[in-house]
Each structure stands twice: as C-alpha cells, then as structure tokens.
Amino acid sequence: MSTRSPVPAAPASDPARGLTRRGLLRHGAAAAGGLLAAGPLSGCASPASASDASALSVWDLFLGGDGMLMDDMIKAVSGGPRGFEVERTILDWGPSYYTKLAMSAAGGRASDVAVLHLSRLAGYAPGGLLDPFDLDLLAEFGVTARDFTPAVWARTQHAGTVYAIPLDVHPFIVFYDEEAADTAGLLDASGQLAPMGSPQALLDASEALAEATGRSGILFGHVTDTAQSWRQFAALYAQTGAAFTLPDGGPARIDTDAAVRVVSFMQQLFDGRTNPNDLDYNGAMASFIGGRGGMVMLGEWELPTLKKSGIPLGAAPFPQVFDQPAVYSDSHSFVLPHQENPDPRRRREAHRYVAEMVKQSLTWASAGHIPAYQPVLAEPEYAALDPQSSYADAAEVAVLDPPNWFAGAGSNFQNRMCQPLQSALLGNTSAEKAVRQMVREADALLRQPNPVA
C-alpha cells in the first residue's frame, strides 16, 4: 500500500462563457485532479507504487487513530494471493475534502473508491458525481442489503438506486461515569444505564448525578461548535415522531410545536445550575475527564480519548425521553466516484474491495464506531468490546440529516441550525424565537440552487 499526502486543489477558472455550473465544475476538476494525482508518496510501502495502474486508487479522510485503523484494514485485505494493491490518498476532513471529491468526480478522473459521509449522499448522487453499485456483484462477494439495518440502508439510495455501502454507524450517544451512575441509582441489574422514558426522568437523573459527583450532572459542549447543538436537537426532535422535511424550493415543513417543545426541554436540562449551559466542546470533555460531571453527551468517536482517562467508563445510546427511540447518527460509507469510462475489471475489483473492507469492520469498531455490516455485530469478539457493544442498538434507530444537497456532515446547514440553538441554550433568546430562526435559515438554504444540479 502506498499513501499520499494531500495536495491543495488549484482554483477553477471559467475558460468559456455560457458554461453551466456543472460544466464549470467539470473544467475545474481536470486541473484539481491532475494536482492531486501528483501528490508525494509517504507512509507504508507495498508492492503497489503511485504509478502502478493496477493498484486500486482509494480516497478517505481518516487521520490519527482512525487513519491507523484504516491502514490495518487495508493491510488485512492486501495479503494473500487475492490481496489488493491499494494506493491510498488521505485528504483533510471537512469542506475541502468534499470539494475535491466533487471536482474529481465531475471531471471523470476520480479514484476507484472513496469514503463519503452518508448524510452527504444527496449532494453527490443526484448530480451524477457518483456511480451506482452493482448489487448482484456485491452479493457475489458476500454482501447484500440484508446485512445492514433498514434505517441505514434506506439512506444509501437515490431514486431507488444504491450509491453507497456503509462501513459504520457513528451515533451521538452518552458516556457516563459508572461509579457516579451507580451511586445515583441509574444502573439496571446488568450494570447498564437504565432507560429514561420521559423528559422528567432525564432531568431527575441529572440531579442525581450532580449529587453523586458533587459538581454537575450532565455535560454538553456546544458554544461556538458547528454541529453539537444540531445533533442533540435532531435526536430529540426525531423522538417526538415529527417530520423535518426540506422539499426542493421550500418552504420547510417543520412541526414548530414539536421543535419548540424540544428546545424548551434542552433549555430546562441545561439550566446553568444542575447542568452547565455555557461549555464548549473541549470544556465538556475536560470537565468529564476531571470528574466534574457524571455524564457527557458526545459522539462515540471520542471513546479512545475517554478510555485513556482511566474513568470507569460506561456508554449508552442517546436516551429516549419522548415518544419513540431515535439516535442522531451518520455513517462513513464507501462510494464509487463517477468515472467517464470505468474499466470493467477495475470496477469489479472495486466492488470486491468494498465487500472485503466492510467485513474487516471489527477492527474499525475498536475506535468506537458501530460496524454497519451486521454479521460483524454477531461475532463474539464484538460482544466482548466494552463499552462499544452496549450502544450497538443505536444503529437500529439511526436518524441522519435531511437528505438535501446542502445538509450533512461538516455542512453549513448544521452550522446555521446551531446558531439559534446556541443562543437559546445561553439564555439569549426564547425557544420560540430560536425555532423561528431555524425555519428561516432552512428556507433560505432551500432557495439556493444546487451547484451540481
């Protein structure tokens, strides 16, 4: 395996008047794709080289611990007589990754396989930036729709065609100090966090945790964060059973009564007394690690950091307090970026690669991610993972961002939803005003044209 470091894309230019947005994107992609292909080599070596046309080209956004786990998985599928030759390119996570992915796909010079947050699919599949998977070919390699939860599989499709194969589900959950939770009487007979069942039950639990720790009950970092408040709101709103629908052109179809109910509860929970309302992300993490709170609401991806802290750590799906279970989630998924004339042999190998990688997701689970490929969850080795196996059920009730081109991981949509929510939690505005602002922001986004339509 060879690993490339990221190279910035060149700015797109308009070489001809009258180009459509899609055409402009295609012209810009050719230059960007050429620069990316010339990136320097680094990292681990393998029989494949950057110039080896037989190697599968794969793009992802995994750095740090996740990046090393991805290396391990690629090494696992690269061994043996049927092992893959893989040329891996790692790009910085965030808007830049998705811009480069779109430009390379629009230019028809993309990698064989790439990673995409499932919540971003609506910005790529409809515009022809992705090629569909051949489900018969995947089945030949042992992967079918039955291997994934319906909640996640439903989001792999556009117009009835599958464009993504999920590697994981990464939900917004709760971590808790097991000793504090036990003192507060919140654990069931098996030592797991007992169900809440109502808003008042969670409020009571937070007070019991505050008494047990002598400090705060539940910690939540949201100040200046571009996603946290939305994650919490989206989970609670989905639990009410109300729909959050953003039809093309607008207006937004949002149950404002349910939304006000949710924001009001968030304000009540984070009242600045039992539970602080003014923490940023790092402040919440530090407070929990320092024993200044009994529970913290975070993404499961923080598991490695929290385990290193030495806290007697427990974890559970985001508590159900309204009418139905729902956990805000996303999914790292494999996609086939659009290629003008894909080689049938390479495309077949790309399918086999994706199938073999999802089967390696027990390795991926060590970082906290829930394997999307359900047979892995049935393995005894996964059941032995603590506390990962205790929140695996979150995948059954996963709720992603609305399927709109402007929504999803790292999007401006999440940021614009968070701003009024932050103001409400800080006590600077009412729940009603915050919801009205969220609706206005959604309507404004719906009026914007899709740049790749």
Query: pLDDT per residue over 364-389, tens digit each?
Result: 999 999 999 999 999 999 999 999 99
Q: How confident is the model at residue 23 (pLDDT cuts 50, 70, 90)?
A: very low
Helix (H) or strand (E) holding 190: none
Question: Residue 396: inside a domain, yes or no?
Answer: no
How confident is the model over 213-224, as a mean pLDDT? Answer: 98
Do 19 and 66 share a domain, yes or no? yes
Looking at every residue in the chain, the average pLDDT score rounds to: 89
Question: Residue 399: inside a domain, yes or no?
Answer: no
Q: Residue 3 has what pLDDT?
A: 52
CA distance 254 to 441: 12
Which stretches does DSSP call E strand in 77-134? Answer: 86-90, 113-117, 130-131
Do 52 and 195 share a domain, yes or no? no
Neighbour tally for 81: CB within 10 Å? 4
Burial of 322 (0-12, 13-18, 19+ CB in 10 A): buried
Reported as a single tens digit per residue, the pLDDT across 115-124 is 999 999 999 9
| Structure-token match 């799906």, residue found | 317
pLDDT more than 70, % of the chain = 88
Do 360 and 298 share a domain, yes or no? no
Do 250 and 184 share a domain, yes or no? yes
Residue range of the domain that includes 222: 171-329+411-446
β-sheet bridge partners, residue 332: 117
pLDDT more than 90, % of the chain = 85
CATH number, domain of 15, equals 3.40.190.10
Do 193 and 320 share a domain, yes or no? yes
Question: Residue 452: inside a domain, yes or no?
Answer: no
Question: Residue 88: inside a domain, yes or no?
Answer: yes
- Rounded alpha-carbon distances, angstroms, from residue 354 to 99, 113, 119, 313, 423: 23, 8, 19, 33, 43
Reported as a single tens digit per residue, the pLDDT across 138-178 is 999 999 999 999 999 999 999 999 999 999 999 999 999 99
Given a cut of 50, is residue 393 above it in pLDDT? yes
**Among candidate residues 181, 210, 221, 231, the one with its CA nearest the CA of residue 292:** 210
Q: Residue 267 has what pLDDT?
A: 98
The token pair at 94 is 């965030």
CA distance 149 to 164: 14
Secondary structure (3-state) at 327 = strand
Looking at residue 1, its amino acid is M
Q: Residue 134 has what pLDDT?
A: 98
The token pair at 97 is 């990754």
Do 237 and 134 share a domain, yes or no? no
Do 342 and 320 share a domain, yes or no? no
Q: How many helices (H) and strands (E) does the chain have?
A: 17, 19
Looking at residue 386, its amino acid is D
CA distance 10 to 28: 8
Neighbour tally for 234: CB within 10 Å? 24
Q: Residue 450 has what pLDDT?
A: 86
Do 149 and 132 share a domain, yes or no? yes
Which residues does 20 contact at the CB level (< 8 Å), separation at least 6? none
Question: Residue 314: inside a domain, yes or no?
Answer: yes
Question: Residue 402: inside a domain, yes or no?
Answer: no
β-sheet bridge partners, residue 59: 89, 114
pLDDT greater at residue 341 or residue 35: 341
CA distance 369 to 362: 9
Do 377 and 427 share a domain, yes or no? no
Do 151 and 7 share a domain, yes or no? yes
- Rounded alpha-carbon distances, angstroms, from residue 339 to 10, 101, 110, 268, 344: 20, 12, 6, 51, 11
Which stretches does DSSP call E strand in 61-209? Answer: 86-90, 113-117, 130-131, 157-158, 161-162, 165-166, 168-177
| Structure-token match 């740090």, residue found | 64
Q: How confident is the model at residue 54 (pLDDT cuts 50, 70, 90)?
A: confident
How confident is the model over 36-59, as a mean pLDDT? Answer: 50
Domain count, the chain: 2
**Among candidate residues 220, 211, 203, the one with its CA nearest the CA of residue 184:** 211
Helix (H) or strand (E) holding 453: none
Question: Residue 397: inside a domain, yes or no?
Answer: no
Do 267 and 299 share a domain, yes or no? yes
Question: Residue 254: inside a domain, yes or no?
Answer: yes
- pTM to 2 decimal places: 0.88
Contact predicate 335/124, CB 8 Å: yes
